[in-house]
Structures are given as structure tokens and as C-alpha cells.
Amino acid sequence: MPTTPAPTARPKRQGRRPGTSGSRQVILDAAQARFAQEGYAGATIRKIAADAGVDASLVMQFFGSKDELFGAVMSITLSTLSRFSEAFEGPEHSLGERVTRAFLQVWDGDPKDSEPLLAMLRSAISNEQASSQLREFIQARLTEAIAPQLPHLQDTATRAGIASSMLIGLVVGRRIVKVPSLVSEDTESLVRYIAPAVQAILTGGHDA
Amino acid sequence: MPTTPAPTARPKRQGRRPGTSGSRQVILDAAQARFAQEGYAGATIRKIAADAGVDASLVMQFFGSKDELFGAVMSITLSTLSRFSEAFEGPEHSLGERVTRAFLQVWDGDPKDSEPLLAMLRSAISNEQASSQLREFIQARLTEAIAPQLPHLQDTATRAGIASSMLIGLVVGRRIVKVPSLVSEDTESLVRYIAPAVQAILTGGHDA
DNA sequence: GGAATATCTCAACGATTGTTGAGATAGGTT
DNA sequence: AACCTATCTCAACAATCGTTGAGATATTCC
């Protein structure tokens, strides 16, 4: 009977411990910023590595491939998205305002919150992973969050999908295309313009 | 006094005439489809040339560079955009419906009409030319087309910018991200959902 | 101190990109 | 016919991409 412990029991390994330098997090931050700024196709491993002050091969060693690195950034995105749901509860007559404000406020806050979403938006055009994630966010997450606020309607998926797409379009116009009349307007002013429209989509009658 | 004519007067040149093979138009069509499907960064000269059944260097000979080829496709886009303006005239109480329908109908018609716009949309993320063109379209063209219909309002640029961005977001959700609940809905059904919202943005009161 | 393990750099690979120059081919003029 | 011009192909360039393997450096346990 050997004295060496079983492989599964108490590894108690010796040697250097993983993740002690913090470079992994620095790379992740740089990747998040690059993906947000240039999208999946535009961002390169070499530029991300340069931003992090690290060799490109180290990025590969940590994350395996560009796709897996992007996947790591996207998993951060998911946690950011989950914070939307909480903001939607309240009286139905002001649902449009709450949804609109929750949507717009994310993009005016900490870049560390908006960057993952920008990365997903910009990459949705060139990367299937980002595209399907954005699709699932609009279709499932947002619908699940909004539908309970409208228990008497049957077409909540359609209404939520339309409202979400239009709000995302607003972000595209304001943050990516940079339409002057949208950039110059502050969040609360935009909410006053948009909230009634979102309210009409979510709760308005659907006349034939 | 030489018998040869002056360089600027009556060229009357001999030799083969330009544009007799039609390859230039075939390349332009292939480029339009590729830019629409994969955006500026994703589309490559070699793939475009392969689609057109032509060598890649011929594309360069005709258009000079990838940027100039993209510029040629964008100039087609401008002519497509110009047809928007005509659809907006009419009574103010139904302006939202006309704008919404005009917007959505372009994407359900002939691909030769929607492809240039899709190319501009998809490329706006990776190419400054497409981005600034889309920005100018939303800010100037659409505002100029909608403003005359709302002579009594002062913030028409803001209202038109918001409405346009939201409608573009709808196209992004329906044609690029492919949100199921938007894809399955037909144009007229979407118009009934969206027109009241667009109407609210364009003509609604802006309460403080 | 060694031994083991993780972090990190260096150099290079194969593929793909936009682009270029030379030359072959086709069509129009005299 | 000869001549000119435009169309088009072929081969290759330099740059950049993601990715890989080997080795140097740092950290932890014995």
C-alpha cells in the first residue's frame, strides 16, 4: 500500500499558487474595454495584451482562445444584465418610465457597468455568441421581467421585445452612432420624451 | 503647327470602351450583399471578388481600395434614403403611422433596397464613414423631412432623432439580432403596436 | 537548499488581409 | 492589317491575425 495520497483526496500540492499576480484581471479589464470599443472582430489579442502590459501569449495561456476570452467578458455581461429585473416592479401606470429610466441610467453610470453591454452590442454584428446572447436577453430575460407587471395582457413577449429593441436603438444612436441631438440631451430629459412612448407600447391598446 | 489635337479638346480616343463587360456592376452588387451581410470589417475584397466570379485585383483596378468600394456602395445607400422624405407628408395626427410604416416597409421589400441600408447599419460599428453617414441621415435628412410636418414645435430635431433611433433599433432587433417575437410579427401588426408610440414622441407634450 | 508549480516572455508558424505590378486577353479606331 | 485602350488574371508583397512551443522567471512546499 503506497504512502502517496489518492489523486482525488487532499491534493495539498506544492508550488506557486495560481492567480497571485492579478494579471488575469488586468487582461479581463483590458479585453472588456477593447471589445466595448471595437467589437469582437475589431479587438485583437495583441492590442488587449498591450493594454494590459503583457505578452499576447499570456492571454492565450489564461483563456485558451479569443472566443473563450470573449466568453469570459460575456459572463460578466450576464451579471450586469441581471440587475435590470429589480427595477421594473411598481404601479403599471408608470411602468414605461421605470423601464426607460433603468435602461438609460446604466449607460450614464460607471463605465465598468456599461462596457460589458457595449461590448455585447458592438460584437453582436460579427460574433454569433454575442448576437444570441443579446437575443436571449431581449426575448427571455426582459420579457420575464416585464411580463409580471402586465398580468392581464397576453402579448407581453411582443410588447417587451418591441420596447427593448427601441430602447437599444436609442443606445445605439446615442453611444455608437453619436447622433448630436441625442448626445446633447441628458438622461432625465430623454426619459420625459420616451417614457410615454414606452408606456404606450407596453400597456396601450392594440387596435386592428 | 502640329496636326494632333490639343489634349483637352475632342479626345475622340480610340481603343476599347470602358464598362462594356458589366463586371463593374456585378462587383458592386456582390459588394453590397457582402457588406450588408458581414459589415465593413467582415467583408473582404477576396470574398467579394469570388462572389462576382472575378479576380481580387480587378476590384482594386475598378475602385482603387476597399474604402472607395465601400464608398460606392454607400452612395447607392444615399439614393435609397432619399425616398423616405416623400412618405412623410400628410395630416399630423397620423404622422407616426406614416413614418413607422415607411420605415418598416423598406426592410420587407426588394433586397436591393434594404441591402444598402443593412450594409450601412452593420458597418456603422467598425467604419467611420458608415457611422457618420448614418448619423447624418438621422440628424439631418430625417429631421428635415419630419420637421415641416410639425411647424408648431421647436424641438423637432430631438424628437426626430429619438424616433429615428428607436425605429432603427427595431430593425436591429428584427434583422440583425433576430429577436423571435419581432421576426414572427408581420409589418402591419408591428405598425399597430409602434405607430402610437412614435406619434407620442413626435407630437406628444414634453412635460417637466 | 532543492523540487514542484504557476506566471510570463520570446520567437516563430501558417493563414489571411489589402494592395501592387506585370503581362495576357478582348474590343474598338484608323 | 496595325494600333490603342480597357478588361482581366497571375503571382507576389508586407502587414497583421490567432495560435503554439520552449524556456526563463517567480512563488510555494518539503
Write the DSSP assignment of A110-169 as a string of letters. -HHHHHHHHHHHHHTTT-HHHHHHHHHIIIIIIHHHHGGG-TT-S-HHHHHHHHHHHHHH
- The pLDDT of residue B41 is 92
Q: How confident is the model at residue B208 (pLDDT cuts 50, 70, 90)?
A: low
Find the CATH number of the domain harbouring B178.
Answer: 1.10.357.10
Residues B104 and B144 in one domain: yes
Task: Give a yes or no: residue A2 inside a domain.
Answer: no
Which residues are within 8 A (CB) of A3 and not within 5 positions of it... i.e. 6 or more apart? none
CB contacts of B208 in chain A (<8 Å) are: 192
User: How many CB pairs (< 8 A) connect A and B?
Assistant: 173
Residues A88 and A60 in one domain: no
Number of domains in chain B: 2
Q: What are phi and psi of B65, to 5 degrees?
A: -160, 170
Task: Give a yes or no: residue A65 inside a domain.
Answer: yes
Residues B39 and B135 in one domain: no
Residues B53 and B108 in one domain: no
CB contacts of A128 in chain B (<8 Å) are: none
pLDDT at A195 over 60: yes
Closest nucleotide over all strands to B55 (CA to C1'): D9
pLDDT at B1 over 70: no
Residues A59 and A83 in one domain: no
Positions of chain C reached by protein Cβ under 7 A? 2-12, 16-22, 26-30
Inter-axis angle of helices A23-42 and A56-63, to 10 degrees? 100
CB contacts of B139 in chain A (<8 Å) are: 179-181
Residue A102: which region, alpha, beta or left (left: phi > 0; alpha: psi -120 to 50)? alpha
- The pLDDT of residue B87 is 82
Residues A124 and A36 in one domain: no
Q: How far is B14 from chain A (nearest CA, A)?
A: 47
Q: Looking at the complex, does the CB of residue B109 fall below 8 Å from at least one CB of chain A?
A: no
Residues B45 and B92 in one domain: no
- The pLDDT of residue B86 is 81
Residues A99 and A177 in one domain: yes
Residues A193 and A151 in one domain: yes
B195 DSSP 8-state letter: H
pLDDT at A33 over 80: yes
Domain span at A160: 79-203
CA distances from A65 to A30, A37, A47 (A): 15, 20, 15
In DSSP notation, B81-144 reads HTTTGGGG-S-GGGHHHHHHHHHHHHHHS-HHHHHHHHHHHHHTTT-HHHHHHHHHIIIIIIHH
Say if the Cβ atoms of A124 and B173 lie within 8 Å.
no
- The pLDDT of residue A12 is 59
- The pLDDT of residue B80 is 80
Query: How far does Cα A31 stand from its chain's mean position?
Result: 14
* Residue A59 near residue A80, CB atoms below 8 Å: no
Query: How far does Cα A174 stand from its chain's mean position?
Result: 17
Residues B193 and B104 in one domain: yes
Closest listed residue to residue A149, CA positions, set A103, A190, A91: A91
Distance (Å, whole) CA A179 – CA A74: 27
A92 DSSP 8-state letter: G
Task: Give a yes or no: residue A11 inside a domain.
Answer: no
- The pLDDT of residue B35 is 96
Q: What are phi and psi of A82, to 5 degrees?
A: -65, -20
Task: Give a yes or no: residue A1 inside a domain.
Answer: no
Distance (Å, whole) CA B191 – CA B165: 16
Structure confidence by residue, pLDDT tens digits, B171-200: 999 999 999 999 999 999 999 999 999 999
Mean pLDDT confidence for A95-112: 92
Q: Looking at the complex, does the CB of residue B197 fall below 8 Å from at least one CB of chain A?
A: yes
Nearest CA in chain A to B179: A135
* Residue A134 near residue B177, CB atoms below 8 Å: yes
Q: How confident is the model at residue B11 (pLDDT cuts 50, 70, 90)?
A: low
Residues B84 and B49 in one domain: no
User: Is nucleic acid strand C under 7 Å from A50's C-beta?
Assistant: no
Helix, strand or coil, per DSSP, at residue A179: coil
